[in-house]
Structure 1
Amino acid sequence: MRNPLGRTGITVPPLCLGTMTFGTQTSERDAHAQIDMSIDHGVDFLDTAEMYPVNPIGAKTQGDSERVIGTWIAKTGRRNDVLIATKHSGNGMGHIRNGADITADSIPQAIDGSLDRLQTDVIDLYQLHWPNRGSYMFRQNWTYDPEGDAATIRQDMADILGALQAEVARGRIRAFGLSNESAWGTAQWLRLAEDGVGPRVASIQNEYSLLCRLYDTDLAELSMYEDVGLFCFSPLAAGLLTGKYQSGAVPEGSRMELVANLGGRKTDRAFTAVAAYLDIAERHGIDPVHLALAFAMGRPFMASAIFGTTHVDQLPRALAAMEVTLSREVLDEIDTAHRAHPMPY
């Protein structure tokens, strides 16, 4: 089964292979094997970004995830067998364009770099990694305080859309997506597109999992009525929902070994919540990975759920989630657990 990518006519599989460890934790050889295996299982969608890889993020490795995908394309000649999504970094990333905002001028420059590294002439989904005005994602929701002039923000969006439209006209991008966006922000992008300013938003890449369900209200409504599907990241909550970090465990080579607080996700309440979901999985004989991924894939607003595996031998477990459908009983128990453990980080 495939899902529509907005109103673009492009369809995507329910899972997407995330590549943010390609070039650091994941070697080129392993990454190429992951791409091959994913395609063989119907997951022909890759997500990357110009700032990747992570763990760590740095100037020396910046762009290497795209480069690894590019060498796979060059080696196999299978560009037409995959859909590629990448992202333009936002402000604050000092080693990329000196941390400047996304602008009409930076867009063609950033696309030049991504196309060169990917060894392709077109990007299927081009996303803005985070808004110029800031975002409440990545635990910033606890202290979020919107500021700025709405008219100025909309003009900035209009300028960016104009540049994106030029890239669509050149044939260098097929679709436009957002990331780490809000309902208000997405509505403004849609409004401008309806006024003929530029391409219509096809998707929003925001965090979503059993532990992080900020999307379930206003953004869910927007997604459903405006055909802007969620392209979610961290459906396994940075590995927490696998259960591998319970009871203080920190497996060698794991993300927590490199990022101790998992980007603000490591809290006492998170482990308690994970225990509740692990209990549901155990009682119903479901792999915890499958519980988490099947839940994400089953949401009515979901376009595709991004997962990542550091090593190819972990990949079959994740791919098998596409064969899992959660029963009404399991979904009801998830709802009960969510009410008891809402937003634990």
Structure 2
Amino acid sequence: MLANKSCALIRMSTRHPSCNQRSLATKAHASDRVLLGDSDLNVSVLCLGTMTFGKQNTEKEAHEQLSYTVDQGVNFLAEMYPVPTEASTQGATDRYIGTWLQSQKRDSLIVASKVCGYSERTTWVRDPPQTTRVNKDQVLESVDKSLKRLKTEYLDLLQIHWPDRYVPLFGASSYDIKNERKGDISFEEQLRALEEVVKAGKVRYIGVSNETSYGVAEFVHQAKLAGLPKIVSIQNSYSLLVRTQYETDLAEICSKHNVGLLAYSPLAGGSLSNKYNDGTAQTGSRFNLFPGYMGRYNASLVKTAVSEYSALAKKHGLTPSELALAWCKSRWFVASTIIGATTMQQLKENFGAFEKELSNECVEDVNTIYKKYRDPTLS
């Protein structure tokens, strides 16, 4: 269905029946559909990531990817995209999608976006520049600007890009009470801000991203107490290298409250393709183009684990990327897997991975490697 960060497009289709997320393990096509959480958003199990649009991909290339994907996928992005983020390119991804949208039938697509959580670094997202927060004024500004860039009147899904409160993010492994901040926007206040755009007809459903079990529980609880909109999705990192956080308590609570997982970085920034280990990565590849970006995927233990997963893939007649993407698709709790590509060749190869099914032996072999390395990206 969707893709990386704030805006997503999903083509509705009658070619494949709807299914709940627990039946996904039997699905074999990127265009198979699943209902996202307890919404009526019927999304594909593959989501096209678009965070390279405006940084690594031109508008023409973006349109080519979108057109190729439209019969079977989606895209996702956030209000500050593309990434790595900077003021000069902020919103470019939305604009590229917006110009493409003009030639599409809007009511056959699902469009999603994001609103930034707390950040003192992305102040340029707001006008005037200020610390980003999930409050009424900023949610309204974020949505209105996204709608203008996307050239559409409503969003089908709006997610909070990362929590307004302090949580360990992007490779941090433990919670440190010393990092807690005063003045957090309460869960109820955030939901009331999101309710404003829902009531105005600008947003149909809401969700979260980079969230914890505590956050999911509080959002669901406060929505029930105050009769506010309920979250239907969570967009968190999930891959062969990043499993533990979601597979334990998050899987349980999201299942109990019917919150669908949109798994991002299933190739761990491209590292699970093994191209950085075997020397085939091009100069324009993400980690070569942006040294230090997502450095957690360049750790020596990560590279060792990737090598073992690559050998395992070969054993079972798969490419490293096919193993990684087929793994995500096969998990019962994954509603949609977000893939990204900078070339059409990469995009087509990623689509092909969704045709692969993992044998029981392959799954057992994956878990054997997992027991050795767990989540090697965590600091």
* Shared fold (TM-score, shorter chain, > 0.5): yes
Which stretch of the first structure deviates more once superposed, 137-146 or 234-243? Answer: 137-146
> Does the residue aligned with 1:265 lie in a helix, a strand or coil?
helix
Find out whether 1:305 has 2:344 as its counterpart: no
Matched, 1:49 2:78: yes
Q: Hey, what does 1:168 align to over in structure 2?
A: 198
Residues 85, 335 of structure 1: alpha-carbon distance in 2 compared, 3 angstrom cutoff:
same
Residue 59 of structure 2 is matched in structure 1 by: 28
- Partner of 1:87 in structure 2? 114
Equivalent residue for 2:226?
Answer: 196
Any unmatched runs of 5+ in structure 1?
none
Map Cα deviations across residues 249-307 of structure 1 (whole Å, 9 max, x no partner).
65210001123244122100001100111011101111221111111111111111111
Alpha carbons 1:205, 1:232 under 8 Å: kept: yes
RMSD: 1.8
Q: Could you tell me which runs of 5 or more consecutive residues in structure 2 were left unpaired when the two chains were aligned.
A: 1-31
* Alignment-derived partner of residue 69 in structure 1: 97
Contact 1:24 1:53 in 2 (8 A): yes
List per-residue Cα deviations over 1:26-60 (Å, max 9, x = no partner): 111111111111123x11x2101101001x31101
How far apart in 2 are the matches of 1:70 and 1:136? 33
Residue 87 of structure 1 aligns to a residue whose secondary structure is strand
Return 14-23 or 155-164, whichever deviates more: 155-164
Q: Secondary structure at the match of 1:205?
A: strand
Say if 2:115 and 2:159, in contact at 8 Å, map to a contact too.
yes
Q: Secondary structure of the residue that 1:217 maps to in structure 2?
A: helix
* Counterpart amino acid of residue 132 in structure 2: A
The aligned runs of 1:55-204 (5 Å cut-off) are 56-74=84-102, 76-92=103-119, 93-97=122-126, 98-142=130-174, 144-145=176-177, 148=180, 156-204=186-234
**1:84, CA displacement in angstroms?**
1.9
Q: How many residues align?
A: 339
Q: Distance in 1 between matches of 2:105 and 2:284?
A: 31
TM-score by length of 2: 0.85
Moved more, 85-94 or 183-192: 85-94
Normalised by the length of structure 1, the TM-score is 0.93
User: Does structure 2 conserve the Cα–Cα contact (< 8 Å) formed by 1:20 and 1:65?
Assistant: yes
The code of the aligned residue for 2:82 comes to P
Paired residues of 2:59 and 2:96 also in contact (CA < 8 A): yes
What residue number does 2:27 align with?
A: none
2:167 and 2:339 map into 1 onto residues whose CA distance is 22
Contact conserved, 1:165 with 1:198, CA < 8 A, in 2?
A: yes
In 2, Cα distance between equivalents of 1:224 and 1:211 = 22
Contact 1:73 1:119 in 2 (8 A): yes
Matches within 5 A, 1:221-260: 221-247=252-278, 250-260=281-291
Partners of 2:166 and 2:179 within 8 A in 1: no
Contact 1:162 1:197 in 2 (8 A): no
- 1:161/1:197 contact within 8 Å kept: no
Q: Post-superposition shift, 1:248?
A: 5.7
Aligned residues of 2:283 and 2:289 also touching (Cα < 8 A): no
d(CA) in 2 for partners of 1:10 and 1:260?
Answer: 38
Tell me: CA distance 1:274–1:148, structure 2 relative to 1, closer, same or farther (3 Å): closer
